[in-house]
């Protein structure tokens, strides 16, 4: 069987995606490979397919246990022998996997990098006929990457212990410096280097200035995505639980996920999300990177991510099946200030300076007015044309500027008169003439600034605070209170003007609801719903997630093409011979 026959039989595809065939050919020629391909580009197939055309075992090294589990499940569903060895398994389960390896029943073995530190596992590999190693999430090798892992730094031992075994390294993102670090540290020998475009034409990227805690804006967004799967990222464990409860109170199927949960609770949330019983997971970055779920329709950040790399990887969880998906980032100027404070606490050295530069690049990208897709690509060294209709800056270009100098001077005066030691909420209460206990206890109702801003809404004052932080007129002091900078003093004295995009001051328009994405006109919504119900029923019977049976893209093609026999069914994207033999007849009966 050749590579195209294998592609169709096992994976249900008629043709390769861009760069996949080149990667497959390099592995079949036993050449080292370094592939940088964005999420959704089909990296896994690049090493899974050649394994089927080679003798021996492929060892896949990944830091993501959940992802390994999901991929093994999906491979077994299409008739490919795969297994993972991890700390999650009992000694009996591990022994059975080892026995299956010796019997030649396993083609792909997934392991975490720390397992290579054990001599017992190294002896096992020495007994196996290895065809090639796969290093997934290869950016973890680099100290200049965004997810450096010490266990990955030791992977140079693969080349030293098995010098004749080729290595294929994969990652979704890497700057030029990180790419060189990966190749050098893994000891790759004249590898074929493949770099795919970062542009995802099915992904709409939006950013919004956060109003208050952003929860009302989040509800506006989720109202257009009922019944769809998505991830909401927050910075802390406490925030995940609070926000998940808030969404449940508002009628959404939501749950929290963070590293502090018990193993049983994490497993429950993970399985509920994969099986579509749960719509929204509110999570720290501990969730999502290891999820092989193709039908995530949205990814939301409630505050600024850590780096551009984190941002791109996290938003890349959406739309891996190629269908319309959205990402939305809420941010405020204080986000960057808080992150800068964390960096301030690091030891002096190159890493600290590197962290400052990464934060600066992220802030410039998010607050800029150029095409976001183009700016993201430029960060990784790729030149793109503006997307025109796939990001907030192209969809909603800059509008008129409004002069807010007088409002800004009132706020700066409140900062100065109150002693430059209070946060934004306190200062806004002061300007609006609040009778809050703390203001009275401080005697601040007698200040000249008390009540001079009563004509403006609290949320509008919050926007003005953000603008002054963005301009560097305000800064956070050691107690997280607002303090004037030299630029702020100049504004207060009337020597500088302050302007802002007019639409930011119109609070009711700050997060207009995006239109819900309808099904294409040639798809009968009732038929599509019945296909989804059948998929879910079969998935529950087989104990696997629905997307493992057929992807949403496959269901859409079934609804449009309405195949009536085996030959027509096999012409549909994502349906190979193995899946047809298992599930084809059930779907044909429904379609007939």
**What per-residue confidence (pLDDT) applies to 554?**
92
Name the packing angle between helices 43-52 and 20-28 (round to 10°): 40
Query: Is 503 part of any domain?
Result: no
Confidence grade of residue 64 (pLDDT, cut at 50, 70, 90): confident
Across residues 563-572, what is the average pLDDT? 92
Are 77 and 167 in a shared domain? yes
**Does 367 lie in the same domain as 223?**
yes
Parent domain of 30: 3-195
One domain for residues 315 and 172: no
* Residue 490 covered by a domain: yes
Q: Mark which of 372, 395, 418 sits at the end of a domain.
A: 395
Residues 379 and 411 in one domain: no
Query: Does the pLDDT at position 193 exceed 90?
Result: yes
Per-residue model confidence (pLDDT) at position 166: 97
Domain co-membership, 112 together with 61: yes
Given this model, what pLDDT does residue 287 score? Answer: 67
For 119-125, what is the mean pLDDT?
91
261-292 tens-digit pLDDT: 888 898 899 889 988 999 999 998 766 555 67
Q: What percent of the chain stands above pLDDT 90?
A: 61
274 shares a domain with 186: no
What value does the mean pLDDT take over residues 415-421? 94
**Same domain, yes or no, for 224 and 320?**
yes
The total domain count for the chain is: 4
Q: Do 313 and 172 contact (CB within 8 A), yes or no? A: yes
Last residue of a domain, one of 395, 423, 449: 395
CATH number of the domain to which 159 belongs: 3.40.50.300
Order of all β-strands in the sheet with 229-233:
203-209, 325-331, 296-301, 229-233, 280-283, 254-257
Regarding whether 131 and 46 lie in a shared domain, the answer is yes
Is residue 473 domain-shared with residue 324, that is, in the same domain? no
CA 526, CA 44: separation in Å to the nearest integer? 33
- Region 398-420: what's the mean pLDDT? 92
Asked if residue 256 is part of any domain, the answer here is yes
The DSSP bridge partners found for residue 35 are 170, 194
Residues 323 and 219 in one domain: yes
Residue 38: which pLDDT band, with cuts at 50, 70 and 90? Answer: confident
Give a yes or no: residue 323 inside a domain.
yes
Q: Is 233 helix (H, G, I), strand (E, B) or coil?
A: strand
> For residue 506, what pLDDT band results from cuts at 50, 70 and 90?
confident
**207 shares a domain with 188:** no
Lowest average pLDDT, out of 167-181, 335-349, 522-536, goes to: 335-349
Is 373 part of any domain?
yes
Residue 576, in any domain of the structure: yes
Q: Looking at residues 3-29, what average pLDDT do you find?
A: 94
CA 147 to chain centroid: 13
Say whether pLDDT at 22 is over 50: yes
Domain boundary among 395, 425, 456: 395
CATH of the domain at 423: 1.10.10.10
**250 and 381 inside one domain:** yes
pLDDT at residue 509 in the model: 45
Query: Quick check: is 520 in a domain?
Result: no
> Of all residues in the chain, what percent carry a pLDDT higher than 70?
96
Give pTM, 2 decimals.
Answer: 0.79
Residue 510 has pLDDT above 50, yes or no: no
CA-to-CA separations, 286 to 147, 234, 323, 362, in angstroms, rounded: 12, 11, 25, 21
Residue 293 three-state SS: coil
């Amino acid at each position: 069987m050749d590579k195209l026959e294998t592609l169709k039989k096992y994976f249900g595809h008629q043709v390769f995606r861009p760069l996949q065939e080149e990667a497959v050919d390099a592995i079949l020629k036993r050449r080292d490979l370094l592939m940088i391909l964005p999420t959704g580009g089909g990296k896994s197939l690049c090493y899974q397919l050649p394994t089927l055309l080679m003798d021996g075992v492929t060892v896949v090294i990944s830091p993501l246990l959940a992802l390994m589990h999901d991929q093994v499940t999906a491979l077994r569903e299409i008739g490919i022998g795969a297994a993972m060895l991890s700390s999650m398994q009992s000694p009996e389960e591990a022994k059975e996997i080892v026995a299956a390896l010796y019997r030649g029943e396993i083609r792909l073995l997934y392991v975490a990098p720390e397992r290579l530190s054990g001599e017992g596992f190294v002896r096992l590999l020495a007994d196996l006929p290895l065809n090639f190693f796969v290093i997934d999430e290869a950016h973890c090798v680099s100290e200049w990457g965004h997810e450096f892992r010490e266990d990955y730094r030791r992977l140079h031992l693969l080349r030293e212990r098995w010098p004749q075994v080729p290595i294929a390294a994969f990652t979704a993102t890497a700057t030029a410096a990180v790419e060189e670090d990966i190749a050098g540290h893994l000891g790759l020998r004249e590898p074929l280097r493949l770099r795919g475009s970062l542009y995802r034409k099915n992904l709409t990227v939006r950013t919004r200035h956060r109003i208050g805690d952003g929860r009302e804006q989040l509800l506006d967004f989720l109202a257009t995505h009922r019944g769809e799967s998505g991830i909401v990222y927050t910075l802390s464990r406490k925030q995940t639980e609070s926000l998940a409860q808030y969404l449940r109170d508002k009628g959404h199927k939501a749950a929290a996920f963070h590293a502090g949960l018990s193993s049983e609770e994490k497993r429950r949330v993970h399985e509920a999300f994969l099986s579509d019983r749960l719509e929204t997971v509110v999570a720290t970055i501990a969730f999502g990177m290891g999820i092989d779920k193709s039908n995530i329709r949205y990814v939301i950040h409630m505050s600024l991510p850590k780096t551009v790399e984190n941002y791109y990887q996290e938003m890349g969880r959406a739309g891996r099946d190629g269908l319309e998906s959205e990402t939305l980032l809420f941010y405020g100027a204080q986000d960057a200030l808080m992150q800068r404070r964390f960096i301030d606490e690091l030891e002096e050295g190159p890493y600290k300076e590197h962290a400052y530069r990464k934060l600066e690049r992220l802030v410039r990208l998010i607050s800029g007015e150029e095409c976001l897709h183009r700016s993201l690509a430029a960060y990784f060294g790729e030149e793109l044309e503006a997307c025109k209709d796939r990001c907030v800056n192209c969809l909603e270009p800059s509008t008129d500027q409004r002069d807010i100098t007088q409002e800004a001077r009132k706020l700066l005066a409140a900062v100065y008169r109150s002693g430059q030691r209070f946060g934004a909420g306190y200062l806004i209460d002061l300007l609006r003439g609040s009778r809050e206990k703390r203001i009275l206890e401080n005697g601040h109702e007698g200040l000249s600034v008390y009540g001079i801003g009563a004509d403006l809404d609290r949320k509008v004052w919050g926007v003005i605070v953000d603008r002054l932080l963005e301009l560097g007129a305000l800064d956070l002091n050691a107690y997280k209170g607002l303090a004037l900078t030299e630029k702020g003093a100049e504004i207060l004295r009337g020597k500088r003007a302050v302007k802002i995009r007019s639409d930011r001051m119109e609070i009711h328009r700050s997060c207009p609801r995006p239109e819900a994405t309808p099904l294409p006109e040639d798809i009968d919504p009732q038929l599509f719903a019945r296909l989804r119900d059948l998929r879910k029923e079969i998935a529950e019977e087989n104990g696997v997630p629905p997307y493992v049976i057929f992807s949403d893209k496959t269901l859409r093609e079934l609804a449009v093409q309405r195949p009536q026999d085996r030959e027509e069914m096999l012409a549909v994207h994502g349906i190979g011979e193995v899946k047809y033999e298992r599930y084809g007849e059930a779907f044909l009966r429904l379609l007939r």
